[in-house]
């Protein structure tokens, strides 16, 4: 099923409207602050699998309501390096303040692939946004995999990749949050080895599972040996035709499938404040 198709009929109360050819859909007719019925949850789960990232507008959610919405789709887990907000360890603040020049997570990545069991998904809710800028890009890793040559896919299918929390580019993007709200053990280095081509546990499709933020090298190879091919893959996976772009408003919420999508928050709003609340959902060991 392509990103343009949707299993929901136009007559259904929930409307799922694709925003790009590759991935991404805006959902209408759902208030995540209210209890969701089993049929609604099932439709949203199906839409997430079809479109990889869902966008909701005008969601006035307290931290408690954000967590309640997240629990319909999985089990919230704590972020390993930054404390959660007061009273809610599973909700972290993702912020760039007026004086800061570097934004949190401002590089293409899948969330925390340096964990042995990375999250299945992430919910991100906009609290404060700049007047312009601060959009987020998303990319479809199914397409990134499927558009590789048959020979390269066959070679990658037998490789693993070593992912580390110590990659210089990404540690720089979280340094201000770690200083202001450090978690015990925030200085430790986490490392995990995962397949380069990951099989999605629900769809059975292969997705490219390396990223410039966390992937250091291929398993059994040095960084120098890995760099040419790894560099090519990281450039390939961000081709414009694999992506969509989302413009935030206060109350906007994005929910993405971390197993088959990458994202990149654009750092183009110096001098303005951008504050988000994030919840990540427990996943499974990549296969």
Residue 160: strand, helix, or coil:
strand
Q: DSSP letters along 29-74, please?
A: S--TTSPPPHHHHHHHHHHHHHHSEEEE------HHHHHHHHHTTS
DSSP labels, 34-46: SPPPHHHHHHHHH
Question: Cβ distance 27 to 56 under 8 Å?
Answer: yes
Look-up of token digits 């951008």: 274
Where b means 16+ CB within 10 Å and e means fewer, 39-54 reads: ebeebbebbbbbbbbb
Q: Taking every pair of C-alpha atoms in the chain, what is the biggest distance, in angstroms? A: 55
- For the question of residue 268 being annotated catalytic, the response is no
**DSSP 8-state symbol, 163:** E
Spot the catalytic one: 50, 51, 90, 111: 111
Residues 249 and 127 sit within 8 Å (Cβ to Cβ): no
What letter would DSSP give residue 215? E
Q: Which residue among the candidates 51, 90, 109, 174 is catalytic per the annotation?
A: 109
Name the active-site residue from 51, 174, 214, 278. 278
Query: Is 111 tagged catalytic?
Result: yes
- Which CA distances in Å does 278 have to 7, 82, 166, 197? 28, 11, 22, 27
Dist. CA 107–CA 105, nearest whole Å: 6
- Of 101, 114, 117, 134, residue with least CA distance to 254: 134
Query: Which two structure tokens, joined as six digits, stand for 107?
Result: 């590089």
Q: Which of 200, 214, 217, 263 is catalytic?
A: 263
Query: Among all residues, which ones are annotated catalytic?
Result: 109, 111, 263, 278
């Amino acid at each position: 099923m392509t990103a343009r198709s949707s299993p929901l009929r136009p007559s259904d109360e929930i409307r799922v409207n694709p925003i790009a050819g590759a991935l991404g859909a805006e959902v209408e007719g759902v208030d995540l602050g209210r209890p969701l019925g089993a049929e609604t949850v099932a439709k949203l789960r199906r839409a997430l699998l079809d479109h990889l990232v869902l966008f909701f507008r005008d969601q006035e959610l307290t931290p408690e309501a954000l967590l309640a919405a997240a629990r319909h789709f999985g089990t919230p887990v704590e972020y390993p390096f930054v404390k959660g907000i007061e009273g809610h360890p599973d909700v972290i603040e993702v912020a760039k303040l007026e004086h800061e020049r570097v934004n949190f997570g401002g590089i293409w990545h899948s969330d925390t692939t340096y964990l042995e069991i990375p999250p299945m998904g992430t919910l991100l809710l906009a609290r404060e946004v700049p007047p312009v800028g601060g959009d987020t890009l998303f990319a479809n890793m199914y397409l990134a995999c499927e558009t590789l040559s048959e020979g390269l896919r066959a070679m990658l299918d037998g490789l693993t990749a070593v992912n580390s929390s110590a990659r210089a580019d990404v540690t720089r993007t979280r340094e201000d949050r770690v200083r202001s709200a450090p978690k015990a053990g925030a200085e430790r280095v986490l490392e995990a080895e995962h397949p380069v081509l990951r099989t999605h546990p629900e769809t059975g499709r292969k997705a490219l599972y390396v990223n410039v933020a966390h992937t250091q090298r291929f398993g059994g190879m040095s960084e120098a040996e890995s760099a040419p091919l790894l560099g090519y893959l990281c450039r390939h996976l961000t081709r414009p035709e694999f992506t969509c772009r989302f413009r935030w408003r206060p109350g906007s919420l994005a929910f993405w499938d971390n197993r088959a999508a990458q994202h990149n928050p654009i750092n183009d709003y110096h001098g303005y404040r951008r504050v988000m609340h994030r919840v990540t959902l427990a996943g499974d060991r990549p296969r």
